[in-house]
Amino acid sequence: MKTTPERAIDPILEALEGGGPPRVQREIFGIRLYDQIISRDLTEIPEIMAAVRETHGPILELTSGSGRLTRSLSPLGREMSVAEADMTGPKLEETYGCVVLGASYATLLEPRRRKKLFREVNRCLAPEGRFLMSVVNADHRAELEVINRGATISQLDQDSFFVTVESRDALNGALHVSMSHISFNEHGTYRSSEYTSDIAFVSTELIEEELSAEGLGVLERRPITVDPETAGIQELNLWVCAGNQQGQTEVEDRP
């Protein structure tokens, strides 16, 4: 096996020059790869669909990505809109009966962006509407301060696969993910791209405080079935939220 010469030299030159591809370009590549990886993952979809069916009126899906969740929501036959989590672009004036944010995306946002998200969701949520959000319970503390997971190799398609290495710093509540995407072409050459992320796990108490500060309350937390092979996730829940006027004194946790 051999590398393509003109591609192999690029990272070397970038390292020598102290540069690299533009940040936006790297993010786009990473987002596309992530969408491809999770496209066949059904985690959280059954639980989200069950909760959506309990609501009425238009649906707003946040961070729809490649349409993994959209494909399940569309057959419901309800009016649907999509928007990014940072609510950029034209203001959403519609009143939605259900706002959905999957993939535990809220916990990946910086506090300022997360608060803005909650504020905008509350503004465009119908009086009886529901905000559905999947959240990783980061309050679990592992016995070891650092948990390392061996490399996982997964095939994306006939000519490419990726290698994922994850380690969790339980003491600081963070997950480090390193992913190598390797693709082959018809002439026996290959190209490898590396992506790394440090993900901070946000405590559920903090998320609840931020929701409340922006006018939202948690009605209940429903358990989401998680693939045993998923690293670093010991508990995943679907939070069913509403305006504070509909909130209750004690949050219901479903078994």
- Spell out where 24-145 has E strands: 59-62, 80-83, 96-101, 125-136
Helix (H) / strand (E) element for 105: namely none
CA distance 79 to 60: 9
Per-residue pLDDT, 202? 82
**Residue ranges per domain, the chain?**
2-38+141-200, 45-136+202-253
Sign of CA pseudo-dihedral 200, 204, 207, 209? negative
Per-residue pLDDT, 182? 81
Output the six-digit token pair for 139. 């309050």
Give the residue from 55, 61, 57, 59 showing the smallest Cα distance to 87: 61
Give the residue from 18, 47, 67, 26 showing the smallest Cα distance to 196: 26
pTM comes to 0.70
Per-residue pLDDT, 116? 92
Which CATH architecture fits 45-136+202-253? 3-Layer(aba) Sandwich (3.40)
CA distance 218 to 134: 12
Per-residue pLDDT, 6? 40
Sign of CA pseudo-dihedral 198, 220, 97, 72? positive
Per-residue pLDDT, 89? 53
The per-residue pLDDT for range 16-52, each reduced to its tens digit, is: 444 555 444 445 455 556 566 666 678 899 999 999 9
In the predicted model, residues of the chain with pLDDT beneath 50 are 1-10, 12-18, 22-26, 28, 141-146, 231-232, 247, 249
